[in-house]
Structure formats: C-alpha cells, structure tokens
Amino acid sequence: MSTNFWLIRHAVVAENERATLYGVRDVQLCPDSLVAQVPMYQALAVRLPRPATWLCTPLSRTRRTAEAIFQAGYPAQDLAVEPDLIEQDLGDYQGLRHAALPPLLSAPAHAFWPLAADEQPPNGESMAEVLVRVGTALERLAERFDGRNVVIVSHGGAIRAAVAHAMDIDARRALHLSVYNLSLTQLERLPEGWRVVSVNESPGFEDQIG
C-alpha cells in the first residue's frame, strides 16, 4: 500500500517578523493576510483528502493555519504534533535582520537561502541536517500511517527537505525549490519507493509572499 503525504506550508507571518531570520521562533501569523486569504483556505478545504490524519509542528503558526482551513470548510480534526517536521533551527542567528547575517557566515550564502546548505549556525542546524531529520521522520510516518492520507502543516525548509528526501537529492539542490505560503506539495511512499506527485501546488493563488 502507499502512504500519501499532503504537505502545506504555513500562512504568511507578521510583517515585522518577515524582515528577520525567524527560524523556530514562535512568531505570529499576519492578521490582515488571515482575512484576505480566506479564498485560499477555502480552496485547500476542498482540495485536501477526506478522511486524513492531520499533523502540525510545535510552532503555533502551523496549528493556526490548520485551524483556518477547518474554519474555511474542512471538518475539524485532532492535530497531533510532529516535532521532527519543524523549521530549520537557525540558532544564534534567529531574530537577526537579514542584512546583519553575511559578516557572520563561514561560507557564501546559497543563491536562494541566507545560508549555505552545510552552514551550521551557532547552537542551530544546517539545511543538510534538516534533510536528515525530516527524511527520517517521513520514513517513520510512512510506516506508521501505511495506506492512509496524512496532511502535514509545516514549514518551507522542512518541505524542501521532504521533497529532497523523496527525490534523493542533496540539501544544496533542495534549496533551489521555492515553497510558497499555503502551497501544497504531495508525496507518496509506495512499496517501490518515493514518488513526487506535485510541488508548490497553488490552486488560484500563485503569487504569495514568503
């Protein structure tokens, strides 16, 4: 049998937080976006499978996003917390404004991420480590929920890592993936291995900010 994963990146965070490296800080969602993007939540409520097991991460922005989807029409579900699908821990760099980061780095930043894939922030983790963490979690969840649909509200970094695990690519290549807020990524774990069904699926709301 196959396990079907439906990965959703959380909604847009508050504007003042977007100017910083927020990582695993428990920042709030943008209240204006929560109102303006109701049609997007409605689209997800229609698109997502029923029945399904729902998971979120320990950060409130993923739980709040799931609750907004329920409010938009998907039947309310219990939300189990999966810590291993949390965002990249940026350690001592969290809370810094983006412009303050370059002098602190030991290697040039990735073209599409503030850090290189193997750059480990002090007291944090590299994207390469995120890929290992997320890949291990996906294999565990695939076994646990074999034959079921699993909806996971997670983070851009973790979703990049999930796709990289499914495609067997490294962290540097994973950072070339763009993951919009509220976008949907579908992965399948089959007896033959992993298959990527869609990445960054954004029905009717393509141009979202990070």
Q: Answer whether residue 106 is part of any domain.
A: yes
Q: Check: pTM over 0.75? Answer yes or no.
A: yes
Residue 148 placed within a domain: yes
Within a domain: 24:
yes
**Percentages (nearest 5) of helix, strand, coil residues in the chain:** 35, 20, 45
Span 177-206, pLDDT tens digits: 999 999 999 999 999 999 999 999 986 544
**CA end-to-end span of the chain:** 35
Q: What is the tally of structural domains in the chain? A: 1
Q: Does residue 178 sit within a domain?
A: yes
Q: Does 1 reside within a domain? A: no
Q: What is the pLDDT of residues 16-72, one digit of tens each?
A: 999 999 999 999 999 999 999 999 999 999 999 999 999 999 999 999 999 999 999
Q: CA 149 to CA 152: how far, in whole Å?
A: 10
Rounded mean pLDDT, 100-107: 91
* CA atoms 67, 29, 126, 170: torsion sign: positive
Q: Is residue 108 situated within a structural domain?
A: yes
CATH number at residue 34: 3.40.50.1240
Cβ-based neighbour number of residue 55 at 10 Å: 24
Strand duo 149-154 + 184-190: pairing: unpaired
114-147 pLDDT, tens per residue?
Answer: 999 999 999 999 999 999 999 999 999 999 999 9
Q: What is the pLDDT of residues 62-99, one digit of tens each?
A: 999 999 999 999 999 999 999 999 999 999 999 999 89
The answer to whether residue 81 sits within a structural domain is: yes
Eight-class DSSP state of 97: B
The Cα–Cα gap between 199 and 179 comes to 8
In a domain, 210, yes or no: no
Domain of residue 108 covers 12-201
